[in-house]
Amino acid sequence: MSRTEEKILLSHGNGGLKMHELITGLFIKHFGNKILKQQSDSAILPVDSNEIAFTTDSFVIDPLFFPGGNIGKLAVCGTVNDLSVSGAEPLFISVSFIIEEGFPMKDLETIVKSLANEAKKAGVLIVTGDTKVVNKGKCDKLFINTAGIGRIDKAKRIAGKFRSIKPGDLVLINGPIGEHGMAVMNARESFNFKTPVESDCACLNDLIMEVLDHTTSVKFMRDPTRGGVATVLNELTATKKFGISLDEAALPVGKGVRAMCEILGFDPLYVANEGKVIIIAAEKESGRILDIMRTNELGKQSAIIGRIVSEHPGKVVLRTETGSNRIIDSLTGDPLPRIC
């Protein structure tokens, strides 16, 4: 654990280095078992001769409503995506509410309808839940906790495949980055940007299944939420014998996100996404995977953004448009709390 911390700081929850320290130094230290130690988006559980994926997530986003979604839609998408990137077909989710006394019933109904609607679209059933109401001031409006269960088809299993990642493999993403983080930031009361940035919040199970239906060469999948693309790729390369070279010119960044990032001093690589998946696959199959992704509504702007390299092992390096190299490090500060 960090040498000076006696209290939990906001940066312990931002998806960056401090959170990593907390997870490994406290949670894994005390809970440690073979399944947890895999630290993937879902736990892969053996049941008889089959496997199921099991995940949980909590949502504390502020504001509850933002361009492109609300906390309800986000809760379904976040849970479904955590299952999907593990190669599982999402089936069942639970939804628990922690509600502050005095919360408007109308808002709760809107959120519940979004949950139901998104679950229906994604083909998952909300099968259990819990409700707690706390005194005014004891939680901020509404928090949601979910769990999700998915079925793993052995042919589509990707757990552990990251071990076969080797130089030459390519890094793909299904569209422009940073939209969720910037949309939420824009929606906060202190900002009045007129830039139309909408959250990319979406369930990716169809897109991912379409890819896995057609190829077995996907070696790694992860949804780059908190901490963004930079954090996912840094977690992957840390302590590995390979590095990742990203191509700035190929990186899809929408106009609105780019403008907001320039003004506020953010790097879109560190900004959260809620409808994006990073895929690493063998080079020879990548073109085909890209084509499949692009046929899906949520993957029209899919792109190959980088390559696994033997140079700079353990590091993610961005080849800038000017031809220079820039190290893309793990996130340390807390640029934007409570975005999911």
Please list every residue from 211 through 230 that binds other proteins, using CB under 8 A: none
Phi and psi torsions of 19, nearest 5°: -65, -40
| Interaction of residue 39 with other proteins, rule CB under 8 A | no
Shortest Cβ 156–other proteins spacing (Å): 37
Which lies closer to other proteins via its Cβ, residue 31 or residue 191?
191
Cα–Cα distance between 247 and 150 in angstroms, integer?
34
Which lies closer to other proteins via its Cβ, residue 156 or residue 315?
315
Cα–Cα distance between 62 and 75 in angstroms, integer?
13
Q: Taking contact as CB under 8 A, which single stretch among the options 142-150, 278-286, 295-303, 314-322 is the one that binds other proteins? A: 314-322
8 A C-beta contact, residue 112 and residue 76: no
Shortest Cβ 139–other proteins spacing (Å): 16
| Interaction of residue 62 with other proteins, rule CB under 8 A | no
Q: Taking contact as CB under 8 A, which single stretch among the options 30-38, 103-111, 203-211, 252-260 is the one that binds other proteins? A: 252-260
Helices (H), the chain: 17-22, 28-31, 71-84, 105-122, 179-187, 205-214, 228-237, 255-264, 283-295
| Interaction of residue 312 with other proteins, rule CB under 8 A | yes
Q: Which of 15, 18, 180, 308 binds other proteins (CB under 8 A)?
A: 18
Which lies closer to other proteins via its Cβ, residue 123 or residue 314?
314
Shortest Cβ 241–other proteins spacing (Å): 17
Cα–Cα distance between 154 and 219 in angstroms, integer?
14
The size of the interface with other proteins (CB under 8 A), counted in residues, is 34
Question: 167 has which bridge partners?
Answer: none
Sign of CA dihedral 176, 162, 82, 80: positive
Sign of CA dihedral 251, 256, 261, 263: positive
Give the single-character DSSP code of 216.
S
Q: Which of 101, 140, 213, 262 binds other proteins (CB under 8 A)?
A: 262
Cα–Cα distance between 85 and 101 in angstroms, integer?
36
Cα–Cα distance between 167 and 242 in angstroms, integer?
7
| Interaction of residue 309 with other proteins, rule CB under 8 A | no
Q: Taking contact as CB under 8 A, which single stretch among the options 36-44, 107-115, 166-174, 257-265 is the one that binds other proteins? A: 257-265
Shortest Cβ 262–other proteins spacing (Å): 6
**Residue pointed to by tokens 């005194």:** 135
| Interaction of residue 2 with other proteins, rule CB under 8 A | yes
Sign of CA dihedral 110, 111, 116, 120: positive
Helices (H), 65-127: 71-84, 105-122
| Interaction of residue 190 with other proteins, rule CB under 8 A | yes
Which lies closer to other proteins via its Cβ, residue 161 or residue 240?
240
Residues forming the site for other proteins (CB under 8 A): 2-4, 6-11, 17-18, 21, 190-191, 255, 258-259, 262, 264-265, 312, 315, 320-327, 329, 332-333, 335
